[in-house]
Amino acid sequence: MNELIATERLTKRFGSLTAVDQVNFQVNEGQVSGLIGPNGSGKTTLFNLLSGYFPPSQGRVTFQGQDLTGVPPHKRVVMGMARTFQLVSVFDSLTVWENLVLPSIRSKREELGVSRFFFCRSARKRIKADCEMALQWVGMQAKAFSPTSELSYGDKRMLEIAVALALKPRILLLDEPFAGLSDHEIGQALELIYKLKEEITIVIIEHKISKIVDLVKRLSVMNEGRIICEGSPEEVLADSEVRECYWGKAGESC
């Protein structure tokens, strides 16, 4: 498989704190990768570096072999990268449809240029089709024109994923997509991700490890800013260092 995204000695410091420390990380196209580790281990900071929300203190990020270390987040979206956040990030003041359409308009403007976009009917048709398809993926067609403020937390999480899907990404970064969801909602989200993995490269941060061991092909563990173990879920979860740092010396089950 071809390498889609990779980091080389990627480091992020906040004053005297090193949140991500010399990380070499890669994901191949078509792969579903999991990223786990204790709270404060640097997982979300790594996502922020991959997606351009933080500039690195050292090292670089490549996407399809292209160095995008200095490329801003909105341009990374145009290149094919989308993400979700630990805390659901949608606009309560807008309808579901508006939440989908506005980011899509922005990304297509970047792709085509402002002047071409406004005179390009096909671009507007494509935005409509992409947003409709995203709603179908998450099963929210009937709520397209509902105020987002009236949605349950679980529906807001699915809407956030739909916003990312409407951008037609090649890689989707999911930051704790099951956080705050009921068991039923987690089941719905898992079912969606299993469908998506046939279409999109996915990297998922998740604390509910039992939910993703059958989903991911490769699992990476972070601790104190470093990746301490990588491999198949079975290999990683059997590693003594992983068990000690993640569950403690007394940890017997995952």
- Please give the residue range of the domain that contains residue 54: 1-80+169-254
Summarize the confidence of residues 91-97 as an average pLDDT: 95
Pick the last residue of a domain from 124, 149, 166.
Answer: 166
Among 252, 248, 214, 251, smallest CA distance to 234 is for 214
pLDDT at 248 over 90: no
Nearest in space to 52 (alpha carbons), one of 5, 100, 120: 5
**243 falls in which pLDDT band (50, 70, 90)?**
confident
Q: Is the pLDDT of residue 112 over 70?
A: no
In terms of domains, do 65 and 177 share one? yes
Burial of 254 (0-12, 13-18, 19+ CB in 10 A): middle
pLDDT per position as a tens digit, 159-184: 999 999 999 999 999 999 999 999 99
Residues 120 and 45 in one domain: no
Extract the tokens encoding 37. 């580790």
Summarize pLDDT for 179-214 with one digit per residue, the tens: 999 999 999 999 999 999 999 999 999 989 999 999
The reply to whether 76 and 174 lie within a common domain is yes
pLDDT band per the 50, 70, 90 thresholds, residue 126: confident
Query: 205 pairs with which residues across the strands?
Result: 35, 175
> How many domains does the chain fold into?
2
Q: Mean pLDDT across the stretch 81-106?
A: 91
Helix (H) / strand (E) element for 217: namely: none
- Tell which wins on pLDDT, 127 or 82: 82
Longest dimension (CA), the chain: 64
Of 127, 143, 166, the last residue of a domain is 166
State the pLDDT at residue 113: 53
What percentage of the chain carries pLDDT values higher than 90? Answer: 78
Of 166, 198, 233, which one is at a domain's C-terminal end?
A: 166
DSSP conformational letter for 38: S
What's 26's domain CATH number?
3.40.50.300
| Angle of the 121-138 helix axis to the 153-166 helix axis, nearest 10 | 140
Tell me the pLDDT tens digit for each residue of 48-70: 999 999 999 999 999 999 999 88
67 shares its domain with 174: yes
The DSSP letter of residue 149 is G
Structure tokens at 177: 């997509």
| Residue 131 exposure: Cα atoms within 13 Å on the Cβ side | 22
Q: Tokens for 9?
A: 């000695």
pTM over 0.85: yes
Picking from 178, 40, 161, 39, the residue whose alpha carbon sits closest to that of residue 96 is 161
| Residues paired with residue 82 on neighbouring β-strands, in sequence order | 172
Q: Are residues 195 and 251 in the same domain?
A: yes
Among residues of the chain, what percentage have pLDDT more than 70? Answer: 89
CB of 224 within 8 A of CB of 37? no
Q: How many residues does the chain have?
A: 254
Residues 177, 70, single domain; the answer is yes
Give yes or no: residues 176 and 252 share one domain.
yes
Residues 66 and 178 in one domain: yes
Q: What is the mean pLDDT of the chain?
A: 90
Asked whether residue 245 falls in the same domain as residue 173, the answer is yes
Q: Looking at residue 190, what is its pLDDT?
A: 95
Q: Tell me, yes or no, whether 217 and 97 share the same domain.
A: no
pLDDT at residue number 125: 83
Q: Does residue 21 have a pLDDT over 60?
A: yes
